[in-house]
Amino acid sequence: MSKLPVVDASLACCAPLSDPALSEQEAAELARVFKALADPVRLRLLNLIASQEGGEACVCDLTGPFELTGPTISHHLKVLRQAGLITGERRGTWVYYQVIPEALTRLSGLFALPALTSA
Amino acid sequence: MSKLPVVDASLACCAPLSDPALSEQEAAELARVFKALADPVRLRLLNLIASQEGGEACVCDLTGPFELTGPTISHHLKVLRQAGLITGERRGTWVYYQVIPEALTRLSGLFALPALTSA
């Protein structure tokens, strides 16, 4: 298991890519977030969580769509959590996951290219 | 060198993550795009290209900021190109790179979460 600390993805980027001078540290933090996203299962898990009514998904609803074991799904959810993209909260038997809206909104802003799209 | 075909990133995603049912194929294509982004040098290269006046950068201006050889920079640029994020065009001695605005705009849309941010 990874021993990397959890990334605060909401802080990892704050300006669009079209702004100059992404720092080396910001680039390193963002690269970790994109590494977490660079897996089809994790993307589908994030999609499943983000598309839930109420923005929350029980882990018990996240294993069915995949031909993967529970521990494998849990590992992928842990990577998404360590990347600062989702939170998980245990309530009774199950863990419930939510996306961190600020993290996704910052990523959305990163790729927004006002100067280019208006050219 | 990778033998993967070039991804058309502008087609790799077309709906926000908060929409249901990202297909397995879309997830696989997007994962390849994020794999290209999961490297600090490539993120900084993309930032350098996207932030250029006129949205275009000569490869001759992209090696200076890095303590890397020309061939290494060229490799990273090739990965970004294969991921459908930038285009490169040779004019005379140099190759000039531009971001593909549609690809970045689609990624921006992928992380836009209207349902969640209004909650």
Sequence-separated (6 or more) residues with CB below 8 Å from residue B55: A115, A116, A119, B49, B98, B99, B101
- The domain B25-110: what is its CATH number? 1.10.10.10
Among the listed residues B76, B87, B89, the one whose alpha carbon sits nearest the alpha carbon of residue B45: B76
Domain ranges of chain B: 25-110
ipTM: 0.84
Burial B37-74 (b: 16+ CB within 10 A, else e): bbbbbbbbbbbbbbbbeebebebeebeeebeeeeeebb
Strand arrangement of the beta sheet that strand B86-91 belongs to: B56-58, B94-99, B86-91
Q: Which residue has the higher pLDDT, B9 or A70?
A: A70
% of chain B exceeding 90 in pLDDT: 61
Compute the nearest-CA separation of B94 from chain A (Å).
Answer: 22
pLDDT at A15 over 90: no
| Residue of higher predicted confidence among A40 and A115 | A40
Identify the residue among B4, B13, B17, B68 best suited for mutation to test binding to A, counting A beta carbons within 10 A and taking the highest.
Answer: B17
What is the pLDDT, as a whole number, of residue A119?
Answer: 41
Task: Report how many Cβ contacts below 8 Å link chain A to chain B.
Answer: 142
pLDDT of A59 higher than 70: yes
Note whether A77 and A59 are within 8 A (CB). Answer: yes
pLDDT category, A8, cuts 50, 70, 90?
A: low
CA distance A49 to chain B (A): 8
> For residue A1, what pLDDT is reported?
40
pLDDT in tens, A70-119: 999 999 999 999 999 999 999 999 999 999 999 999 999 899 876 444 44
pTM for the whole thing?
0.85
Q: Which of A44, A86, A99 has the most B C-beta neighbours within 10 Å, making it the best mutation to test the interface with B? A: A44
